Chains A and B, each alone.
Chain A
């Protein structure tokens, strides 16, 4: 069985500050890992994914994440927060490929202060 842990439910940063959203996973097989963003009253939008290969993954809107097998982590970062980054962020894991069933974490709400 797979699981995802996103510690904390809310992160607040100042505009221009580093964004760090943590994600730890559990999987019995090499995982496929994802970060999704959800704006109010909208569906989930894929930010980035790790399948195989390079462990540092770059996504849309300046976000990136690093797969660390030894730490079972896939933390999301962005060097400089923008007001438009305020949203809910979900980490997810799949053990069967990028088009297979996903197990999501509970999500983290990111607030950006002016």
Chain B
């Protein structure tokens, strides 16, 4: 099956700085890559996703980039705010129904 690795496991940034979380995947057949945010005590929620036919996608302060050749994708958060503090999960989906999740990154934004 697919193997998704996520780094770093914890990340602290000053408010206003940028944060970058990276994921690698093993199966070149993976073609859908969502990112989920999980605030403390809450359920994971989709914040952005990218398909394999696109190299970059942006939504306000959040962007995701995909490098299919290197089999890695990254989440970029600019102008971080305290409410961005959460655990972020990347995932990869091969054709079919199963998703493979990374182990999560705990992001802390220091005011």
Say if A and B assemble together. no
**B positions within 8 Å CB-CB of A:** none
